Structure 1
Amino acid sequence: MPLHSVSVAGVVVRDDGRVLAIRRADNGTWEPPGGVLELDERPEAGAVREVLEETGIRVSVERLTGVYKNMTRGIVALVFRCRPVDGVERTSSESTAVEWLTPDEVEKWMGEVYAVRVLDALALNTTPQVRAHDGRRWLESA
């Protein structure tokens, strides 16, 4: 029986349109903060927890913006658009930098599979996107 892992991420958007991002400590890539959903945790609560743990920023979840599957690794990621409530940016054991990026910087600094998640969350479309990728590139819809 195939097993899947579920992760959550928060695309935290300030009033000026900048987006919270971390540079991961393990591989140096820029991504929205997120991680594995705990077994006894609601997805929205997991996103709030992961953002706080990785950045020091407490958030409020606005809405689900996308469901993304890494077909190679069997990871399903739920991405939520969030707004900052309070806190001060700080790194953690999982991040070497925490920055507020412009959408242009998101496209420049993040790999394709993460930049698209952020851009989907910034879009005015209220329907969550459903996409699949191989770990590096998006796959065509079935």
Structure 2
Amino acid sequence: MYIDWPAFTPWSALAGGALIGLSSSLFILANGRIAGISGLLGSLLQREDGGLGEKALFLLGLLLSPLLWVALSEAPEVRIETGWAGLLMAGLLVGVGTRLGSGCTSGHGVCGLARLSLRSLVATLCFMATGFLTAFVLRHLLGGAL
């Protein structure tokens, strides 16, 4: 693995983290619920309870933010080092994992840890360990077969 240290941008990373924290804080203050992306998307698709407008706008902001970034600056090079089978399997496993874990990285890792939730700490440690293990097995034991 190669890390391009001259291209490391700590200020934009800090600004991005601050915006994530601010948006999730505003969401919980305005709606009384955490900004877990898998839960928001699931409730929007199932047409659960109220607040469909806020949920849709929050998710639309997630989709439009990268487009705004590309419009205002140079986009980084994106390299995906797997085929369609690997991407489909990854998406499926992430979807199943968010249902089994009752949340995703934004719900547990951002909002839950900020609220000092032990359940979110355990969930975050589990999905981080699973991600590390999966990357190790795919890259080093299977040689990137997918």
Q: In which range does the TM-score fall when normalised by the shorter chain?
A: under 0.3
Which structure dedicates a bigger proportion of its chain to helix?
2
Which of these two proteins has the greater Rg computed from alpha carbons? 2
Which structure dedicates a bigger proportion of its chain to strand?
1
Higher relative contact order, chain-length normalized (CA < 8 Å, sep 6+): 1
Q: TM-score, normalised by structure 2?
A: 0.27
